[in-house]
Structure 1
Amino acid sequence: MPHPSPHLSPHPSLNPSAIPLAARLERIAPFHVMELAKRAAELEAQGRHLIHMGIGEPDFTAPQPVLDAAARAMADGRLQYTSATGLPALREAIARHYLDTYGVAVAPSRIVVTAGASAALLLACAALIERDAEVLMSDPSYPCNRHFIAAFEGRATMIPCGPAQRFQLSAEMVRAHWSPQTRGVLLASPSNPTGTSIAPDELRGIVAAVRERGGFAIVDEIYNGLRYDGAPSSAVALGEDVLVVNSFSKYFNMTGWRLGWLVVPEALVAPVEKLAQNLFICASSLAQHAALACFTPQAQAIYEERRQEMRRRRDYIVPALESLGFRVPVMPDGAFYIYADCSALSDDADRLSRDLLEQAGVVMVPGLDFGVAEPRRYLRISYATSIENLREAVARIRRFLAVSA
Structure 2
Amino acid sequence: MHNHLASRLDNIAPFHVMELMKMAAALEAQGRHLIHMGIGEPDFTAPQPVIDAATRAMADGRLQYTSALGLPALRQAIADDYLRNYGIQVPASRIIVTAGASAALLLACAALVEPGREVLMPDPCYPCNRHFVAAFEGKAKLIASGAAHRFQLTEAIVRQHWDAQSSGVLLASPSNPTGTSIEHAELKKIVASVKELGGFTIVDEIYQRLSYDDAPFSALSLDDDVVVINSFSKYFNMTGWRLGWLVVPERIVPQLEKLAQNLFICPSSVAQYAALACFEPATIAIYEERKAEFKRRRDYIVPALRELGFGVPVTPDGAFYVYADCSAFSDDADAFARQALNEAGVVIVPGLDFGPATAHTHVRISYANSLENLQEAVARLKKFLVRK
Q: Normalized against structure 2, the TM-score is what?
A: 0.99
Counterpart residue number, 2:372: 388
What is the distance in 1 between the residues matched to 2:13 and 2:160?
Answer: 27
What is the distance in 2 between the residues matched to 1:77 and 1:323?
Answer: 55
Counterpart residue number, 1:9: none
Match of 1:144 among 89, 111, 128: 128
Deviations 1:85-104 (Å, cap 9, x if unpaired)? Answer: 00000000000010001000
Deviations 1:338-374 (Å, cap 9, x if unpaired)? Answer: 0001111111111110000001100000000000103
Q: Does residue 1:373 correspond to 2:357, yes or no? A: yes
What is the distance in 2 between the residues matched to 1:403 and 1:112?
Answer: 52
Note the 1:25-174 alignment, pairs <5 A: 25-174=9-158
Count residues with an aligned counterpart.
Answer: 388
Deviations 1:115-168 (Å, cap 9, x if unpaired)? Answer: 000000000000011110100000000000000000000000000000000000
What is the distance in 2 between the residues matched to 1:38 and 1:78?
Answer: 38
> Quick check: 2:173–2:208 contact (8 Å CA) kept in 1?
yes
What is the distance in 2 between the residues matched to 1:64 and 1:311?
Answer: 22
Match of 1:252 among 228, 232, 236: 236
What is the distance in 2 between the residues matched to 1:77 and 1:266?
Answer: 33
SS at match of 1:240: coil
What is the distance in 1 between the residues matched to 2:385 and 2:366?
Answer: 20
Cα offset for 1:32? 1.2
Counterpart residue number, 1:5: none
- What 5-or-longer segments of structure 1 have no aligned partner? 1-13
Match of 2:320 among 336, 354, 357: 336
Deviations 1:177-227 (Å, cap 9, x if unpaired)? Answer: 111111100000000000000000000000001010111000000000100
Match of 1:285 among 269, 282, 300: 269
SS at match of 1:300: helix
> Quick check: 2:232–2:243 contact (8 Å CA) kept in 1?
yes
Cα offset for 1:48? 0.5
> Quick check: 2:124–2:358 contact (8 Å CA) kept in 1?
no
SS at match of 2:40: coil
Q: Does residue 1:350 correspond to 2:334, yes or no? A: yes
> Quick check: 2:98–2:266 contact (8 Å CA) kept in 1?
yes
- How well do the aligned residues superpose, as a CA RMSD in angstroms? 0.7
What is the distance in 2 between the residues matched to 1:352 and 1:101?
Answer: 41
> Quick check: 2:47–2:283 contact (8 Å CA) kept in 1?
yes
Q: Does residue 1:313 correspond to 2:294, yes or no? A: no
SS at match of 1:373: helix
Note the 1:291-310 alignment, pairs <5 A: 291-310=275-294
Counterpart residue number, 1:272: 256
Q: Does residue 1:323 correspond to 2:307, yes or no? A: yes
Counterpart residue number, 2:166: 182
Match of 2:381 among 397, 400, 405: 397
What is the distance in 2 between the residues matched to 1:334 and 1:272?
Answer: 30
Cα offset for 1:403? 2.0
Runs of 4+ in 1 over 4 A off after TM superposition: none
What is the distance in 2 between the residues matched to 1:256 and 1:374?
Answer: 30
What is the distance in 1 between the residues matched to 2:353 and 2:188?
Answer: 29
What is the distance in 2 between the residues matched to 1:151 and 1:327?
Answer: 35
What is the distance in 1 between the residues matched to 2:333 and 2:304?
Answer: 19
SS at match of 2:229: strand
- What 5-or-longer segments of structure 2 have no aligned partner? none
SS at match of 1:122: helix
What is the distance in 2 between the residues matched to 1:33 and 1:64?
Answer: 31
What is the distance in 2 between the residues matched to 1:237 and 1:320?
Answer: 36
State the identity %: 71
Match of 1:222 among 198, 206, 213: 206
Deviations 1:299-348 (Å, cap 9, x if unpaired)? Answer: 00000000000000000001111111111011000000000011111111
What is the distance in 2 between the residues matched to 1:399 and 1:63?
Answer: 37
SS at match of 1:262: strand
Q: Does residue 1:242 correspond to 2:226, yes or no? A: yes
> Quick check: 2:95–2:245 contact (8 Å CA) kept in 1?
yes
Deviations 1:254-273 (Å, cap 9, x if unpaired)? Answer: 00000000000011100000
What is the distance in 2 between the residues matched to 1:403 and 1:142?
Answer: 32
Match of 2:343 among 349, 359, 375: 359
What is the distance in 2 between the residues matched to 1:322 and 1:275?
Answer: 47
What is the distance in 1 between the residues matched to 2:16 and 2:69?
Answer: 35
What is the distance in 2 between the residues matched to 1:31 and 1:285?
Answer: 29
SS at match of 2:201: strand
SS at match of 1:376: coil
Deviations 1:365-403 (Å, cap 9, x if unpaired)? Answer: 000000010311100000000001000001111111122
What is the distance in 1 between the residues matched to 2:18 and 2:72?
Answer: 38
- Aligned-partner residue type, residue 10 of structure 2: E
Deviations 1:234-266 (Å, cap 9, x if unpaired)? Answer: 011111100000000000000000000000001
